[in-house]
Amino acid sequence: MPALLLAACQLPVKPVATQDDASPPAAVAPAAEAGPAEPTPRADAVARGAPPALAAPEPPPPPDPIDTGAELFDHLAENFQSPVCIKGEANRAWRKRYAGHPASFARHLEEVLPLMAYVATEVDRRGLPAEFALIPIVESWYRPAAIGPGGPAGMWQMIASTARNHGIRIQSGYDGRLSPVASTDAALDYLVDLSARFDGDWRATAMAYNAGEYRILRAFRSNGHRNASGERRLPQGLSRITYDYVAKLRALACLIAKPERHDLELPRDARFVPLARLPLPPGTSSLDQAALKLLVDARELRRLNPAYRGGRLPAGAPREVLVPANPAMLLAARDLPAAPPAGDAPARSHRVRSGDTLSGIARKYGVGLRQLYRLNDMDARSVLQVGQEVQVDP
């Protein structure tokens, strides 16, 4: 049965503090020191009839997927960075803007619960702050087929060059920016890299996602510090759009974590079918054919996966989609034949030449930057050397 990536573990609720935007990140408690190792049973003890050592316990089963509004909102609130609700005019203005029509805000949230739960799970799996699960609200209100002015597309609103630089395929009949699977992988991998570059400061990371990392780094150098705040407009010299980007994320987090402060009633009682990422069945040439084999509604499958123009599956396009993980689909997917093996093509590598960049190498070979980082023990700060061999494939 194809692997399904569903929901993340639930964590204990953290207190929600209220202060300004300039507070330093909370310190991380040091890990407890390991105690002395257990002695290995001696052979003569076993010979005297001592009981054999117990086998290692079975790993716990995967957690149940998030499938209610209450589970999703509680999960997000538990994983927002403290303080969630802060003082300040910009934050107050954006809270008022989003919650100005409480019924409409709650209805919009209910409509996007399945996609939001999928992204929240992926955010948690990468160890990123839960605020990043709110970026698709700011960008597109979680509309996979959204096309913005100037060319950005998808629920993460990526421009084509940025998408290609992060391994998203764009070809005739297929635009991976409109794939919730491909675009979420690329966006979150990019946020992981940015977070490493900005020392885990989620505010600076969000600014860099909006304005570009080099613009934020130049502003830091110009200001002589690395303080990032949407409320206090730091670092100075950025556009209002970039400061508002952080303010919007903080406002949304406060509304979700403390709805009672704003006379909001979130759709906590709403139930929904979780989404799973799944390889398309072998031998299908359209989403409608895949829907028949997976026993899901064809219109819903097309709505969730608009990357395939007209619902057709062009040659060379990725064949991984989001599917409602209802019981009938799970049974149907289990009984489908496995996809044919990809073959024994040798792993590719690239010898660095003058002017090469990791993003350019990723684009040339159609892979994600994160894959290059992982295979070559690199990160966003790594510097390439002429003649260096970069592994491209696992």
Indicate if 286 and 319 belong to the same structural domain.
yes
User: Is the bond leading into 24 cis (omega within 30 degrees of zero)?
Assistant: no
58 in active site = no
326-335 pLDDT, tens digit each: 999 989 888 8
Indicate if 269 and 362 belong to the same structural domain.
no
241-293 pLDDT, tens digit each: 999 999 999 999 999 999 999 899 999 999 999 999 999 998 899 999 999 99
Can you give the pTM of this predicted structure? Answer: 0.74
Residue 355 has what pLDDT? Answer: 75
Task: Give 178's pLDDT tier (boundaries 50, 70, 90).
Answer: very high
* Contact between residue 276 and residue 322 where contact means Cβ atoms under 8 Å apart: yes
Indicate if 220 and 356 belong to the same structural domain.
no
- How many C-beta atoms lie closer than 10 Å to residue 89's C-beta? 9
Residue 356 has what pLDDT? Answer: 81
| CA gap 107, 255 in Å, rounded | 14
41 belongs to a structural domain: no
212-251 pLDDT, tens digit each: 999 999 999 999 999 999 999 999 999 999 999 999 999 9
What percent of the chain lies above the pLDDT cut of 90? 60
What does the pLDDT average to over 36-60? 49
| CA gap 389, 376 in Å, rounded | 9
CATH of the domain at 367: 3.10.350.10
Nearest to 334 by CA among 276, 288, 387: 276
Q: Per the structure, how many domains does the chain have?
A: 2
Indicate if 384 and 308 belong to the same structural domain.
no
Question: What single DSSP character describes residue 308?
Answer: B
Residue 238 identity: L
Given the structure tokens 């997976």, which residue do they identify? 294
What does the pLDDT average to over 76-94? 93
Indicate if 10 and 134 belong to the same structural domain.
yes
CATH of the domain at 208: 1.10.530.10
Is 98 a residue whose pLDDT tops 70?
yes
Indicate if 334 and 387 belong to the same structural domain.
no
* Contact between residue 183 and residue 156 where contact means Cβ atoms under 8 Å apart: yes
Residue 85 has what pLDDT? Answer: 92
211 belongs to a structural domain: yes
Residue 14 has what pLDDT? Answer: 40
* Contact between residue 291 and residue 323 where contact means Cβ atoms under 8 Å apart: no
Q: Give the containing element (helix H, strand E) for 148.
A: none
Exactly one of 131, 139, 213, 231 is catalytic; which is it? 139
Indicate if 209 and 157 belong to the same structural domain.
yes
Residue 93 has what pLDDT? Answer: 94
Indicate if 155 and 234 belong to the same structural domain.
yes
389 to 193, 213, 345, 351, 381: CA distances (angstroms): 21, 26, 19, 5, 17
Residue 337 has what pLDDT? Answer: 77
51 belongs to a structural domain: no
**Residues 6+ positions from 145 with CB-CB distance below 8 Å:** 154, 178, 303, 306
Bridge partners, 324 (sequence order) = 275
Of residues 255 and 367, which shows the higher confidence score?
255
Residue 339 has what pLDDT? Answer: 59
Nearest to 118 by CA among 98, 145, 106, 136: 136
Structure tokens at 85: 């609700």
357 belongs to a structural domain: yes
48 belongs to a structural domain: no
What does the pLDDT average to over 73-93? 93
47 belongs to a structural domain: no
Return phi, psi of residue 171, to 5°: -150, 180
Is 15 a residue whose pLDDT tops 50?
no
Is 47 a residue whose pLDDT tops 70?
no
Residue 62 has what pLDDT? Answer: 62
Residue 132 identity: F
Nearest to 121 by CA among 77, 72, 86: 72
Domain housing 354: 349-391
Indicate if 360 and 246 belong to the same structural domain.
no
Q: What is the dihedral of CA 250, 254, 256, 261, to 10 degrees?
A: -160
53 belongs to a structural domain: no
Residue 32 has what pLDDT? Answer: 41
Indicate if 91 and 162 belong to the same structural domain.
yes
Is 59 a residue whose pLDDT tops 80?
no
Q: Report the relative pairing of strands 174-175 and 275-279 from DSSP bridges.
A: unpaired
| CA gap 246, 240 in Å, rounded | 10
Of residues 39 and 21, which shows the higher confidence score?
21
Indicate if 272 and 386 belong to the same structural domain.
no
| CA gap 32, 378 in Å, rounded | 28
Q: Which of 296, 317, 338 is the C-terminal boundary of a domain?
A: 338
Residue 58 has what pLDDT? Answer: 63
Task: Give 43's pLDDT tier (boundaries 50, 70, 90).
Answer: very low
Task: Give 54's pLDDT tier (boundaries 50, 70, 90).
Answer: low
42 belongs to a structural domain: no
- 22-36, 47-61, 163-177, 375-389: which range is least confident on average? 22-36
Structure tokens at 61: 């089963």
Indicate if 157 and 220 belong to the same structural domain.
yes
